[in-house]
Amino acid sequence: MSDDKSAEWAVELKGVTKTYRKGPIEVPALRRVSLRVAPGEFLAIAGSSGSGKTTLLNIIGGLERADAGDVFVDGKNLQLLSSGDLARLRLQRLGFIFQAYNLLPVLTALENAEFILLLQGVSAKQRKERVRKLFAEIGLVSLENRRPAELSGGQQQRVAVVRAMVTEPALILADEPTANLDSVTAGALLDVMGQLNRAHGTTFVYATHDPQVMERARRLIRLHDGQIMSDEARASTAP
């Protein structure tokens, strides 16, 4: 395995393999996947259910480890990092947006959005300033004191996007972020993500199986049975 290297690529995967074992049965999830993602890309990973999209995102995000190969994120080889170091990397350099239930139900929208800043030890004043700036950018200001149960699915996902963005991470990973949203709300969310990607230069990698969502990506990778079937640069339809 290679050691750390300079962050020429936001993400670099070399021959990554992952196999799940359920008793005597082995289920290959990723087969020698190699991939490079440049800083500032807006990349979609597409594929049907079971194609390995979530596994690939989990491995890039340090939520699980590859069985073989090298995974470089922000110049660090995740295969060599301890669990504590991975937690620190997630905290400092990565942002996550999940399918649903992204927010802590007992915290308000503002508190959820500033949660990671709090973990990072950022002062209260700076936290509020940074969160409110992004809330203003995507129209959440009036909702900052609401709890998740008082927000729509789209509003909750937008709060999750702000939480992922507010720390100015090197990379944001989103696993089917629009899966539980209607097409209009999904489009609005992708607009927000695209807007933040362009404005802040943050790298976005998201998984989807929705053709409409794929259309918004500027690069599309198709996975099938744990292997990359195609990798194409596209002209995004994002506004």
The answer to whether the CB of 117 falls within 8 A of the CB of 166 is yes
Out of 100, 132, 185, 225, the residue judged to bind other proteins by CB under 8 A: 100
Residue 15's SS3 state is strand
Out of 3, 21, 22, 105, the residue judged to bind other proteins by CB under 8 A: 105
Task: Say whether residue 215 binds other proteins (CB under 8 A).
Answer: no
Query: Could you tell me the sign of the dihedral formed by the alpha carbons of 106, 110, 151, 174, in that order?
Result: negative
Which string of x and - marks every residue 126-155 that binds other proteins (by CB under 8 A)?
------------------------------
Query: Which uninterrupted H or E stretch holds 120?
Result: helix 115-120
Task: Say whether residue 88 binds other proteins (CB under 8 A).
Answer: yes
CA distance 37 to 232: 12
Choose the binding region for other proteins from 35-43, 83-91, 186-194, 224-232 (rule: CB under 8 A): 83-91
Out of 3, 25, 26, 121, the residue judged to bind other proteins by CB under 8 A: 121
Candidates 234, 224, 208, 211; CA nearest to 52 is 224
User: With respect to other proteins, which residue has the nearer C-beta, 1 or 118?
Assistant: 118
CA distance 56 to 64: 9
CA distance 148 to 74: 32
Task: Say whether residue 90 binds other proteins (CB under 8 A).
Answer: yes
Residues in the chain: 239
CA distance 53 to 46: 7
Choose the binding region for other proteins from 39-47, 86-94, 202-210, 217-225 (rule: CB under 8 A): 86-94
Out of 28, 36, 39, 64, the residue judged to bind other proteins by CB under 8 A: 64
Candidates 135, 127, 121; CA nearest to 92 is 121
DSSP conformational letter for 63: S
User: With respect to other proteins, which residue has the nearer C-beta, 94 or 220?
Assistant: 94
User: With respect to other proteins, which residue has the nearer C-beta, 147 or 200?
Assistant: 147
Supply the minimum distance, in Å, between the C-beta of residue 191 and other proteins. 24
Residues of the shown chain interacting with other proteins in the complex, contacts defined by CB under 8 A = 54, 58, 61, 63-64, 84, 87-88, 90-92, 96, 98-102, 104-107, 115-116, 118-119, 121, 163
